[in-house]
């Protein structure tokens, strides 16, 4: 099932793709270029139109990891429609506005031409026409090049280590380790064949605790059995805790939460779980998904009475803006995901992530509270720039903030 706003977006993409296909073919035909150019253009644009039609008519083929659509096709179509096509539209509209302005100026300034109307046209395409045609090839080439890089990048993953010093950490817990896994997005860009490698990497870290901070699946509930099987294979000697992410809830929030609970997995929905460790207790508090700051503070108000004053508390919040509510409550550590490290970044502060998030990747501190934001492993959009896929391995130290 597709939401109405998604249907309108897809119809818009279909209209623009069809328009560019026809306009490009007419331009190539007008410039008397070989039929090969027109064939290549038609094959490329036809592939984009076909992908949108599949998304409209057979949406499960686009949403699930059990798709028959090749990964490279998914990747290229996403990059075309979400990066290259908007740039093409800006260029087309800009060119049209410049040409219109020049035409209006020419009405008053152009000299009278004495060229005979019967003068023969050149026999073949001019140099200018050839350059313009080459420019038409740039968007498809850019789309294909970025897609090729994205496909290889989808299997890349690093382990990012943090030694984090916290003044509220009891000395008995000094050296406690946590592995954070987040944003797996099992679906279009992460299939079942990737999961054993990730399980092996997580378990090799041999951390005391394991947390999963949301977006187990990308869109389709059909992928949830794979996700549950993945979580069950992870080793957590001292304790495990999970919070939900926005993608987990796209198709059926209630069914996702019921299935996770039925699988006896520690999904925290405005709830907590505590574990004994080295003679102390460690408590994990799970914030439910909320995209608004007000909702984060309201959820924290619901959680506060559940805080065990004798335990060391750790907040799990898929959205990193939950950190503000946790810091206001005086909680020492929050673990988040959701941002994908900003996905497309020029550097640590400039890029797509900076437009949407106050906290993008890595360590943030406020008073005596700390936040770690993990870039995550999977993707809803296949290309990353300066935001590598990752696991976090966290070692907690008692003492002042560092």
Q: What is the DSSP letter of 281?
A: E
More confident residue, 114 or 312: 312
The fraction of the chain above a pLDDT of 70, given in percent, is: 91
Please give the C-alpha separations between residue 281 and each of 118, 274, 275, in angstroms, as whole numbers: 93, 6, 6
The total domain count for the chain is 2
Return mean pLDDT, the chain: 91
Q: Is residue 261 part of a domain?
A: yes
E-assigned strand segments in 256-381: 271-277, 280-286, 311-316, 333-336, 362-366, 369-373
Instruction: Verify that 273 and 178 share a domain, yes or no.
Output: yes
Distance CA 212, CA 210 (A): 7
- Contact (CB, 8 A) for 337 and 183: yes
Q: Taking 70 as the threshold, does the pLDDT of residue 130 lie above it?
A: no
Name the residue range of residue 161's domain: 157-398
Q: How confident is the model at residue 97 (pLDDT cuts 50, 70, 90)?
A: confident
Instruction: Verify that 162 and 147 share a domain, yes or no.
Output: no
Beta carbons within 8 Å of 341's beta carbon, 6+ residues apart:
353, 360, 361, 373, 375, 376, 384, 386, 387, 388, 390
Q: How confident is the model at residue 402 (pLDDT cuts 50, 70, 90)?
A: low
Distance CA 274, CA 312 (A): 9
Q: How confident is the model at residue 126 (pLDDT cuts 50, 70, 90)?
A: low
Q: What is the mean pLDDT of residues 67-71?
A: 90
Instruction: Verify that 203 and 344 share a domain, yes or no.
Output: yes
Instruction: Verify that 278 and 202 share a domain, yes or no.
Output: yes
Please give the C-alpha separations between residue 351 and each of 150, 170, 315, 381, in angstroms, as whole numbers: 18, 38, 27, 15
Q: Taking 70 as the threshold, does the pLDDT of residue 171 lie above it?
A: yes
Please report, in angstroms and rounded to a whole number, the separation of the first and last CA atoms in the chain. Answer: 48
The pLDDT, as a whole number, for residue 399 is: 82
Instruction: Verify that 59 and 175 share a domain, yes or no.
Output: no
Instruction: Verify that 197 and 168 share a domain, yes or no.
Output: yes
The pLDDT, as a whole number, for residue 60 is: 87
Distance CA 160, CA 97 (A): 48
Pick the range with the lowest mean pLDDT from 1-15, 201-215, 257-271, 306-320.
1-15
Q: Is residue 284 part of a domain?
A: yes
Instruction: Verify that 182 and 136 share a domain, yes or no.
Output: no
What CATH number has the domain bearing residue 304?
3.60.21.10
Instruction: Verify that 76 and 197 share a domain, yes or no.
Output: no
* Separation of CA 342 from chain center: 8
């Amino acid at each position: 099932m597709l939401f109405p706003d998604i249907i309108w977006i897809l119809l818009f993409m279909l209209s623009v793709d069809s328009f560019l296909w026809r306009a490009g073919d007419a331009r190539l035909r007008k410039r008397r270029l070989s039929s090969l150019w027109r064939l290549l253009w038609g094959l490329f644009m036809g592939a984009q139109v076909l992908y949108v039609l599949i998304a409209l008519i057979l949406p499960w083929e686009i949403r699930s990891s059990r798709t028959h659509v090749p990964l490279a096709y998914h990747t290229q179509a996403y990059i075309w429609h979400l990066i290259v096509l908007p740039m093409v539209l800006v260029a087309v509209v800009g060119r049209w506005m410049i040409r219109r302005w020049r035409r209006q100026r020419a009405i008053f300034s152009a000299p009278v031409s004495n060229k005979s109307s019967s003068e023969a046209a050149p026999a073949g395409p001019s140099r200018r026409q050839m350059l313009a045609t080459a420019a038409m090839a740039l968007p498809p080439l850019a789309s294909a090049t970025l897609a090729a890089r994205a496909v290889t990048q989808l299997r890349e993953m690093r382990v990012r280590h943090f030694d984090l010093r916290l003044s509220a950490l009891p000395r008995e817990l000094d050296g406690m380790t946590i592995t954070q896994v987040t944003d797996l997005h099992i679906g279009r860009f992460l299939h079942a064949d990737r999961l054993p490698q990730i399980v092996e990497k997580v378990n090799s870290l041999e951390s005391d605790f394991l947390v999963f901070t949301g977006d187990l699946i990308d869109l389709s509930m059909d992928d949830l059995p794979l996700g549950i099987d993945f979580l069950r294979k992870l080793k957590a000697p001292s304790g495990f805790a999970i919070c939900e992410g926005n993608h987990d809830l796209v198709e059926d929030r209630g069914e996702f939460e019921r299935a996770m609970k039925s699988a006896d997995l520690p999904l925290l929905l405005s709830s907590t779980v505590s574990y004994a460790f080295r003679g102390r207790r460690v408590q994990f508090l799970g914030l439910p998904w909320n995209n608004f700051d007000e909702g984060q503070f309201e959820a924290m108000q619901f959680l506060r009475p559940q805080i065990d004053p004798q335990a060391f508390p750790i907040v799990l919040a898929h959205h990193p803006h939950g950190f503000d509510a946790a810091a206001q409550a005086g909680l020492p550590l929050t673990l988040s995901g959701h941002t994908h490290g900003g996905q497309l970044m020029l550097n640590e502060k400039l890029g797509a992530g900076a437009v949407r998030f106050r906290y993008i990747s890595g360590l943030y501190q406020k008073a005596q509270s700390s936040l770690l934001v993990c870039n995550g492993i999977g993707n809803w959009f296949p290309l990353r720039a300066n935001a590598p896929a990752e696991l976090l391995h966290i070692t907690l130290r008692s003492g002042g903030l560092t």
